[in-house]
């Protein structure tokens, strides 16, 4: 396969930026996005069906190009396969060339739904024990690697099949162990190897779903798969908590998973990916804010076809207005360590009845440091049943307590701990009662002693209602975010006097009376669904 060299591509891109600047002066977001793409890149996906419906003819491609430029999208993913439909080679190649000629970066994508033998579980998922299914999967990736140099794999690369063939193959293993082994093997032998044989330079991205507490149960193995793949991406589609069909996820989840996988993936970590399903304009852009706060280098707006209908156009309008602020937010967080209490989820750890508890604890205004490891050097910690996956956990907990560090533990973990005195003055037991969403009912007064104790080592106190998140970025930046539907008053008190100034508010027309006196930062009448960043010294 002959493709343009890097240098030629860069020159072509440069020429087109110049051309675009002279030809399309009414594309301010396109210019801004190109200036900022090294900091935060905006992407979209054309599903295989979008390719068929929107990119088969010149007029459709022109409309798509204009939409992307108007939205600040500089990177497009063009999908070859989804739901047992394969996009045509000549259509894919033509679309790829048109976007490249317009100055876009172009990658491929595959969604492994309805491939071969269907699972006994979810009907879009496949049985990967089945050899014919593996053969079909391999052909899809060989085909895609013959068209694209980078391939994203959407988050359906797992299995929940329990057919006789799978049951026999797993033998004595747990379903989780069998599926992790199976999917690691399928990735190596049926995806990575064959794709690289067709196109030695191809880079493959595994995009992990948002449901991190169930990864291992369905065969997503974040340790080995992250090692094997070239890059990783992250699902950050929290949607609307109250939506009947799509709801139940709090906004902090997108932040938690972006940071957690960001640590696991390191330099391999690419972007976060969210969609418009079950969202309002407000909850749609909250997904973008959380993705950027999570230090994503890129955000993908799934997907072109869906964004043209239903809530899509209004969502996109709101996002366009927010893009300049999102670039600013990316600048504030990029590459800086975060401070707070470690909130470890070891890879492949079981959640028992504390599913996604981290997300809800983050909503309480406790600045979490999502991590896969339990580092006893941390100044404070939140531990849930997930921590039991670490065989050395009890010793680590004891050493933190002996060092005088405050620790918040769930009631579920406290019950399972042997030989650790949870009446210790440094320990607070958080009553989850097997239902993390109940934490959202805690009052400001109930939250006070928890926040006071855990923030003490950081030299600050925080007072706010529930559903106001606090993020401590680097040495001099704090972000507060009101997820409530009404205005709130809050304060952040430093034990050492500081001076502080407001550096960003999202949305741009959000309001807050901000003041700082004697080390106390007051945020008064901060509007609903608003984020404020301050810098202090």
Least Å from the CB of residue 133 to Zn ion: 9
CA distance linking residue 312 with residue 279, whole number of Å? 9
- Token code pair at residue 226: 């992250």
Angle (CA) 245-249-251 rounded to 5° is 130
Least Å from the CB of residue 360 to Zn ion: 34
CA distance linking residue 399 with residue 401, whole number of Å? 5
Least Å from the CB of residue 380 to Zn ion: 45
125 binds Zn ion (CB under 5 A): no
CA distance linking residue 183 with residue 186, whole number of Å? 5
Alpha carbon 46 to chain centroid, angstroms = 20
Least Å from the CB of residue 129 to Zn ion: 5
137 binds Zn ion (CB under 5 A): no
CA distance linking residue 18 with residue 349, whole number of Å? 51
33 binds Zn ion (CB under 5 A): no
CA distance linking residue 530 with residue 502, whole number of Å? 13
Least Å from the CB of residue 157 to Zn ion: 15
User: Which CB sits closer to Zn ion, 181 or 331?
Assistant: 181
Least Å from the CB of residue 182 to Zn ion: 10
Least Å from the CB of residue 119 to Zn ion: 6
Residues 277-306 that bind Zn ion (CB under 5 A): none
Mark the segment that binds Zn ion (CB under 5 A) among 161-169, 388-396, 453-461, 507-515.
Answer: 161-169
Using CB under 5 A as the binding criterion, the count of chain residues that bind Zn ion stands at 5
Mark the segment that binds Zn ion (CB under 5 A) among 157-165, 189-197, 490-498, 503-511.
Answer: 157-165
Residues 345/358, Cβ–Cβ less than 8 Å: yes
CA distance linking residue 388 with residue 396, whole number of Å? 11
Angle (CA) 232-235-241 rounded to 5° is 165
Residues 234/287, Cβ–Cβ less than 8 Å: no
User: Which CB sits closer to Zn ion, 90 or 168?
Assistant: 168
User: Which CB sits closer to Zn ion, 133 or 269?
Assistant: 133
533 binds Zn ion (CB under 5 A): no
User: Which CB sits closer to Zn ion, 161 or 293?
Assistant: 161
**Side-chain-facing half-sphere of 64: CA atoms under 13 Å:** 31
Closest CA to 251 of 468, 491, 441, 410: 468
Least Å from the CB of residue 175 to Zn ion: 11
Phi, psi of 345 (to 5 degrees): -120, 100
Q: Which residues share a beta bridge with 88?
A: none
Output the CA torsion sign for 19, 21, 25, 30.
positive
Whose CB is nearest to Zn ion? 127
257 binds Zn ion (CB under 5 A): no
127 binds Zn ion (CB under 5 A): yes
166 binds Zn ion (CB under 5 A): yes
Residues 296-355 that bind Zn ion (CB under 5 A): none
163 binds Zn ion (CB under 5 A): yes
- Which residue of 161, 206, 361, 369 would you call a contact of Zn ion, by CB under 5 A? 161
Binding site for Zn ion (CB under 5 A): 127, 129, 161, 163, 166
């Amino acid at each position: 396969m002959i493709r343009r060299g890097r240098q030629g591509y860069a020159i072509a891109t440069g020429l087109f930026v110049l051309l675009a600047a002279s030809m399309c002066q009414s594309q301010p977001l396109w210019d801004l996005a190109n200036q900022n793409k090294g900091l935060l890149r905006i992407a979209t996906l054309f599903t295989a069906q979008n390719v068929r419906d929107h990119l088969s003819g010149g007029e459709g491609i022109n409309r798509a190009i204009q939409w992307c430029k108007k939205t600040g999208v500089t990177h497009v993913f063009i999908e070859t396969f989804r739901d047992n439909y394969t996009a045509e080679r000549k259509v894919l190649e033509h679309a790829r060339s048109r976007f490249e000629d317009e100055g876009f970066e172009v990658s491929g994508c595959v969604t492994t739904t309805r491939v071969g033998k269907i699972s006994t579980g979810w009907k879009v998922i496949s049985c990967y024990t089945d050899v014919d299914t593996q053969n079909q999967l391999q052909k899809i990736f060989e085909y895609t690697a013959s068209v694209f140099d980078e391939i994203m794999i959407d988050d359906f690369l797992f299995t929940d099949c329990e057919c006789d063939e799978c049951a026999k193959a797993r033998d004595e293993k747990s379903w989780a162990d069998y599926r992790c082994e199976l999917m690691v093997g399928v990735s190596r032998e049926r995806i990575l190897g064959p794709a690289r044989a067709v196109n030695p330079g191809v880079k493959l991205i595994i995009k992990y779903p948002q449901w991190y507490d169930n990864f291992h149960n369905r065969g997503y193995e974040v340790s080995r798969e992250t090692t094997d793949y070239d890059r990783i991406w992250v699902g950050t589609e929290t949607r609307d908590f109250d939506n009947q069909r799509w709801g139940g996820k709090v906004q902090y989840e997108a932040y938690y998973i972006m940071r957690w996988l960001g640590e696991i993936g390191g330099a391999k970590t690419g972007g976060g990916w969210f969609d418009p399903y079950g969202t309002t304009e407000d909850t749609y852009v909250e997904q973008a804010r959380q993705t950027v706060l999570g230090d994503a280098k890129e955000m993908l707006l799934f997907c072109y076809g869906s964004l043209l209908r239903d809530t899509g156009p209004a969502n996109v309008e709101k996002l366009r207005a927010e893009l300049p602020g999102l670039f600013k937010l990316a600048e504030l967080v990029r590459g800086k360590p975060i401070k707070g209490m470690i909130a470890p989820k070891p890879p492949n750890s079981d959640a028992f009845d504390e599913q996604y508890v981290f997300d809800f604890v983050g909503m309480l205004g406790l600045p979490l440091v999502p991590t896969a490891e339990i580092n006893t050097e941390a100044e404070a910690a939140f531990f849930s049943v997930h921590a039991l996956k670490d065989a050395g956990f009890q010793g680590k907990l004891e050493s933190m307590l002996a060092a005088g560090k405050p620790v918040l533990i769930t009631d579920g973990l406290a019950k399972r701990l042997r030989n650790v005195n949870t009446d210790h003055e440094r320990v607070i037991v958080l009553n989850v009662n097997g239902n993390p969403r109940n934490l959202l009912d805690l009052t400001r007064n109930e939250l006070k002693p928890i926040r006071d104790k855990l923030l003490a080592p950081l030299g600050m106190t925080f007072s706010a209602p529930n559903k106001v998140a606090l993020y401590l970025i680097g040495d001099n930046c704090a972000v507060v975010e009101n997820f409530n539907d009404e205005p709130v008053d809050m304060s952040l008190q430093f034990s050492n006097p500081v001076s502080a100034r407001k550096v960003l508010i999202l949305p741009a027309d959000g309001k807050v009376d901000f003041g700082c006196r004697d080390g106390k930062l007051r945020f008064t009448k901060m509007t609903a669904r608003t984020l404020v960043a301050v810098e202090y010294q």
